[in-house]
Chains A and B, each alone.
Chain A
Amino acid sequence: MAETTDVARTTHPGKVPAPDRERDGGEPEGVFLSQGQLVLRRFLRHRAAMTSLTIFVLFVLFVYLAPPFLGYSLTDLSAGSYEDPSSAHVFGTDQVGADVFSLVMKGSQFSLQIGLLTTAIATVIGVLMGTLAGYLRRGADTAISRVTDLFLVVPLQAAAAVLINGVGGSWWLVGLVLGFFLWMPIARVTRAESLSLSQREFVEAARASGATTWRIVSRHLVPNMVGTIVVNATLTLSLAVLTEAALSFIGLGVRIPDTSLGLVLNQNYTQLATRPWLFWAPFVAIVLISLTINFIGDGLRDAFDPRQTRR
Chain B
Amino acid sequence: MPAYIVRRVLISIGVLFVASFLLYLAVASSGDPLASLKARPGITQSAIDATARSLGLDQPVVVRWWNWLTGVLTGDWGTSVALGQAQAPVFSTVMHALWVTIRLVVIAEVLALLVGGAVGAIAALRQYSVTDYVATTLAFVLFSMPVFCIAIILKTYGIQFNLLLIDLGGERWLTTAGPPDGGFTGSPGHMFFTFTGTYLLPTIALAAISFAAYSRFQRASMLEVMRQDYVRTARAKGLSERQVVLRHALRNALLPVTTYFAYNFGAVFGGAIVTEQVFGWNGMGSLLVRSIQQYDPNMLMGWLLVTATIVVLFNLFADIAYSYLDPRIRLG
| Contact, CB under 8 Å: A157 / B273 | yes
Residue B277, interface by CB 8 Å: yes
| Contact, CB under 8 Å: A279 / B152 | yes
Residue B223, interface by CB 8 Å: no
Residue A205, interface by CB 8 Å: no
With A153-B312, A262-B146 as known contacts, state yes or no: A272 contacts B153, CB within 8 Å.
yes
| Contact, CB under 8 Å: A154 / B27 | no
| Contact, CB under 8 Å: B146 / A162 | no
| Contact, CB under 8 Å: B16 / A245 | no
Residue A150, interface by CB 8 Å: yes
| Contact, CB under 8 Å: B143 / A283 | no
Neighbouring B residues of A246 by C-beta, 8 Å? 146-148, 273-274
| Contact, CB under 8 Å: A291 / B304 | no
Interface residues of A (CB under 8 A from B): 146, 149-150, 152-159, 161-163, 165-167, 238, 242, 245-246, 249-252, 262, 265, 269, 272-273, 279, 283, 286-287, 290-291, 294-295, 298
Q: With A157-B273, A286-B146 given, can you name 8 additional A-B contacts, CB distance below 8 Å? A: A150-B19, A154-B19, A166-B31, A238-B144, A250-B289, A286-B149, A294-B140, A298-B140
Neighbouring B residues of A291 by C-beta, 8 Å? 140-141, 144
Query: Among the interface residues A150, A157, A287, which one has the most CB atoms of the partner chain B within 10 A?
Result: A157
Q: How close is B277's CB to chain A, nearest CB, in angstroms?
A: 5
With A153-B312, A155-B307 as known contacts, state yes or no: A162 contacts B27, CB within 8 Å.
yes
A306 to B258, CA, bound (A): 28
6 A/B residue pairs, CB under 8 Å, sorted by A:
A152-B311, A153-B308, A158-B23, A158-B270, A166-B29, A245-B146
Neighbouring B residues of A250 by C-beta, 8 Å? 148, 273-274, 277, 289
Neighbouring B residues of A298 by C-beta, 8 Å? 140
Residue B124, interface by CB 8 Å: no
Neighbouring B residues of A251 by C-beta, 8 Å? 289, 293
Task: Name A's interface SS.
Answer: helix
| Contact, CB under 8 Å: A154 / B315 | no
B304 nearest CB neighbor, chain A only = A154
- Chain B residues 51-84 with CB under 8 Å of chain A are none
B273 nearest CB neighbor, chain A only = A157
- Chain B residues 108-156 with CB under 8 Å of chain A are 140-141, 143-149, 152-153, 156
A246 to B277, CA, bound (A): 11
| Contact, CB under 8 Å: A155 / B274 | no
| Contact, CB under 8 Å: A290 / B144 | yes
Q: How close is A185's CB to chain B, nearest CB, in angstroms?
A: 12
A293 nearest CB neighbor, chain B only = B144
Q: How close is A240's CB to chain B, nearest CB, in angstroms?
A: 12
A252 to B288, CA, bound (A): 11
Q: How close is A197's CB to chain B, nearest CB, in angstroms?
A: 23
With A157-B273, A158-B288, A272-B156 as known contacts, state yes or no: A150 contacts B144, CB within 8 Å.
no
Neighbouring B residues of A252 by C-beta, 8 Å? 289, 292-293
Give the total number of A-B pairs whose CB atoms are below 8 A apart.
120
Query: Among the interface residues A146, A155, A246, A249, which one has the most CB atoms of the partner chain B within 10 A?
Result: A155
Residue B30, interface by CB 8 Å: yes
Q: Which of B30, B31, B160, B269 contacts A155 (CB 8 A)?
A: B269
A291 to B140, CA, bound (A): 7
Residue B329, interface by CB 8 Å: no
Q: How close is A288's CB to chain B, nearest CB, in angstroms?
A: 9
| Contact, CB under 8 Å: A166 / B156 | no
Neighbouring A residues of B16 by C-beta, 8 Å? 153
Neighbouring A residues of B270 by C-beta, 8 Å? 155-158
| Contact, CB under 8 Å: B12 / A162 | no
Q: How close is B64's CB to chain A, nearest CB, in angstroms?
A: 16
| Contact, CB under 8 Å: A165 / B148 | no
With A245-B146, A246-B148, A287-B141 as known contacts, state yes or no: A153 contacts B19, CB within 8 Å.
yes
- Chain B residues 282-303 with CB under 8 Å of chain A are 288-289, 292-293, 300, 303
Neighbouring B residues of A286 by C-beta, 8 Å? 145-146, 149
| Contact, CB under 8 Å: A249 / B30 | no
A297 to B12, CA, bound (A): 34
A250 to B273, CA, bound (A): 9
Q: How close is A145's CB to chain B, nearest CB, in angstroms?
A: 9
A39 to B141, CA, bound (A): 26
A192 to B312, CA, bound (A): 22
| Contact, CB under 8 Å: B23 / A162 | yes
| Contact, CB under 8 Å: B30 / A162 | yes
A295 to B143, CA, bound (A): 11
Neighbouring B residues of A150 by C-beta, 8 Å? 15, 18-19
A273 to B162, CA, bound (A): 13
Neighbouring A residues of B23 by C-beta, 8 Å? 154, 158-159, 162
Neighbouring A residues of B304 by C-beta, 8 Å? 154, 158
| Contact, CB under 8 Å: B300 / A162 | yes
| Contact, CB under 8 Å: B146 / A294 | no
| Contact, CB under 8 Å: B269 / A162 | no
Residue B26, interface by CB 8 Å: yes
| Contact, CB under 8 Å: B12 / A166 | no
A272 to B15, CA, bound (A): 43
Q: How close is B101's CB to chain A, nearest CB, in angstroms?
A: 13
Query: Among the interface residues B27, B29, B292, B312, which one has the most CB atoms of the partner chain A within 10 A?
Result: B292
- Chain B residues 1-44 with CB under 8 Å of chain A are 11-12, 15-16, 18-19, 23, 26-27, 29-31
